[in-house]
Structure formats: structure tokens, C-alpha cells
Structure 1
């Protein structure tokens, strides 16, 4: 019993070290790409790294292996991830501006309340789409257009996966607010990890399924550019 506890404790510690190493890699590669070019490839590389880690037989990775795996994915995502990420940022900017205009300008009455409520629902949907889309991109060697269409379908077709992903993200934000040190030490690596493990457990995606489906493990630079 003690040996099993020790083994589980060691695995948890190694998992924490991997999450930390991915966060360091995300920060370093974001700066390497002068933020504007490096940020979204870092998001994509984190999800691809976690996918490969989840599919590993032992999940015992050294910091060096984590770094080299991340770097390989990052190089292959520079163009595709930026196209996807900046397009998604444009959608968020439009929604935020619309919500701000409706709620902080003279648009009152039933129409204003209705528009505001509709925007909230849309933002929740787009939030779930955002969290799941990066995981889906990491799992399939397809174009960004295909990833967008398939993720939209998955948000609706896998409601449990979508809701758990959203709930875990909200819990993460709460933890960041309550203990800011978590954000400093682990950063955006945490939501990337939680989204990946939720999809792995509940989405039943071909090639990324905890239920024992046979598949070939992807290697760095597995995404094609759109």
C-alpha cells in the first residue's frame, strides 16, 4: 500500500513539474517570437505537447524532453497558429466591444437587455469553442477551417465535455484570483492541461481517447498550415 502511494505521489510530482516546464517554455517561446508572433504558436505547442504526454505509456518525462517536444511543435505552428489565433482574437474583440457598447451606453429597455443577454450566451459558447479548438487542432492534421467547423460541432455534440472544460476554466480563474502565485508559476499551462485531459477523458476523439482506442502517436510539427 505504501509503495502504491509512493508511486502515485511521484507521478503527481512529475505531472506538476511537466506543467511548470510547459509554462516556462510558453513564456520563453512567446518572447522568442517577440510576443506577437510567438504567443499563439506557444498556445498550440502546449496543447500538442500535452496530447503527446497523455498518449505516452508512462508519462514520465524529463524537463529536457518536455522542452524539446514543445520546441518542435512550436516551430511547426508559427504560421498556422497565428492565423487561427489572431482570427479568434478578432472575434473576441468584436464581442467585447459590442457588449461594452450595449451595457455602458444609452441602449436601455427590453431591446438592450435582450441584446446583452444574447451576447453573454454567445460569449459563453465562443469561450467553450476557444478552449476546445486548440485541443482539437493538436489532435488532427487538418486545416484551420476544418478545425473551426469540427469544433463548432463538438461543442454541441459533446455537451458534458464542453461544460466540464468551461467549469474547470472558471475554477482555474478563481484559483488565479485567490492564489496569484499559481498564475505566476504555472500560467496558461494549467488551462491547456485541463482542457487536454478533459477532451482525452470525455470527448471520445479518434486518436485521443482514454477508452483504449488504438492510434498512432503524433510527433512535433503535426499540423498542416492553412
Structure 2
């Protein structure tokens, strides 16, 4: 019993340290890109490293990923995904801007009985868009496709695997609530914790496993997986 507790304690400690390092790298490379051009590539690099970690854990479950080379790998992914990540981020930002604008219009105009209906519809759309945003980035780290194809995959995932998508969304929501209640966790783990959670959910459910990806996400085409960066 004591050994099991110590193993669990050490695993949690290593996980916390890795998430802290990833968060600091995300901040550093976001600033390196001038925030505006660095945020989305840093996010893609974060999910790319978490993808490497998931593959490593699947092949070597008893061997934790090493911190050695983490900075170099993060920088490599940041540079490689710079254009693709900014295109995906711009597409998501446009969707959010349209949703926020529609919300403001509905709140300011007197639409009568139609107002509450439209407000409720926009709320549902906001939740769905938030879920698509949470799913798009782990998919982007796994599939070598453009922004439109990735958003389509995220949309298909919410329909074809609603339980998996809901679990990822609820998990992120719970983490955001924890961040709200304990603000001190934000500068420690930042985006790294929600990213790790969504990545873990999609990998454990088999959505991102190479053998399951064509069934789960592609109804009529074979997905183009990114080149594996970790040796088998």
C-alpha cells in the first residue's frame, strides 16, 4: 500500500514538473513570436510535445519522458508549425469574433420574443465552438492537414464520438473552474494542464491511435498522419 502511494506521488510530481516546464516554454515561445504571431505556434508545439509523450507512454509505460531535449523539441515544433498553426488559430479567432459580435447585436436589439431564443441558440453555439476549439489543437498535432479539414474533423468527432468529446469538454470545464477557484494555479500550469487532459482523453479513447483514426474521424478518406518523431 505504501509503495503504491509513493509511486502515485512520484508520478504526480513528475507530471506537475513537466506541465510547469511546458507552460514556461509556451510563454517563452509565445513572447518570441511577438505574442500575436507566437501564441498559436506555441500552442501547436505544446500539443505536439504532449502527443510525443502519449506515444512514449504507450510504448514505455514504466519509463517517464525525460526533460532532456524538451526545449529543443518544443522549438522545433514551433518553427515547423508556425504557418499552419497561425492559419488554424486565425480561423478559430474569426469564428469566435463572429459569435461575440452576434451576441452583442442580440443583446442590444429589441427582438421581442425571438430575443431569448436567439440568445439561447448563441449560448449553445458558444459551448459547441469551445468544444471544437479544445479538440482542434490535439487533432492538429496528429493530422497533417489544413485548418478547414481539422475543423471538419473536430466537428465530425463531436457527432461520431459524443461521449469522448463531452468528456474532453467537461474535463476542460472542470479545470477552468479550478483555475477560477485557485487562481494561483494559472501561472503554474496555464494552458499545459487543459492541453494534457484533452490529449489524454483522445489518446485513451483510441481516437488518435493510428489504427482507429480512419474509423473514428474519416468517413471517406484516409487521414494523413504526421511523421512520427519518436522512434518505436
Kept in 2, the 8 Å contact 1:55–1:208? The answer is: no
Aligned residues, how many?
214
Q: How many Å separate the matches in 2 of 1:106 and 1:96?
A: 14
Q: How many Å separate the matches in 2 of 1:167 and 1:138?
A: 21
Unaligned runs of 5+ residues in structure 1 are: 210-214, 221-226
Kept in 2, the 8 Å contact 1:37–1:82? The answer is: yes
Higher RCO (C-alpha 8 Å, min separation 6): 1
The change in CA–CA distance for 1:189 and 1:208 in structure 2 (over 3 A counts) is farther
After superposition, give the CA deviation of every residue in 1:199-225 in whole Å (9 maximum; x if it has no partner): 11225333387xxxxx997229xxxxx
For residue 155 of structure 1, report the CA deviation from its aligned partner: 1.1
Identify the residue that residue 218 of structure 2 maps to in structure 1: none
Q: How many Å separate the matches in 2 of 1:184 and 1:77?
A: 25
CA RMSD of aligned residues (A): 2.1
TM-score after normalising by structure 2: 0.85
Identify the residue that residue 55 of structure 2 maps to in structure 1: 55
Q: Of 144, 152, 156, which aligns to 1:141?
A: 144
Q: How many Å separate the matches in 2 of 1:145 and 1:98?
A: 22
Q: How many Å separate the matches in 2 of 1:142 and 1:178?
A: 37
Identify the residue that residue 28 of structure 1 maps to in structure 2: 28
For residue 7 of structure 1, report the CA deviation from its aligned partner: 2.4
Kept in 1, the 8 Å contact 2:143–2:226? The answer is: no
Identify the residue that residue 185 of structure 2 maps to in structure 1: 182
Kept in 2, the 8 Å contact 1:160–1:202? The answer is: no
